[in-house]
Copies of this chain bind each other. A is one copy, B any other.
Amino acid sequence: MREHHLEKEFSFPDFRKALDFTVRLGEVAEAEGHHPDIHLAWGRVGLQIWTHKIDGLTESDFILAAKADKLY
**Chain B residues, Cβ within 8 Å of A22:** 19, 22, 26, 40
Cβ-neighbour of A16 out of B15, B16, B19, B30 (below 8 A)? B30
Chain B residues near A40: list those with CB within 8 A: 22, 26, 37-40
How many chain copies? 2
Interface residues on A, range: 10 to 19
Could you list some 13 contacts between A and B, CB below 8 A? A15-B35, A19-B22, A19-B23, A19-B30, A22-B40, A26-B40, A35-B41, A35-B42, A37-B40, A37-B41, A38-B39, A38-B40, A38-B41
Question: Which residues of A does B touch, CB under 8 Å?
Answer: 15-16, 19, 22-23, 26, 29-30, 35, 37-42
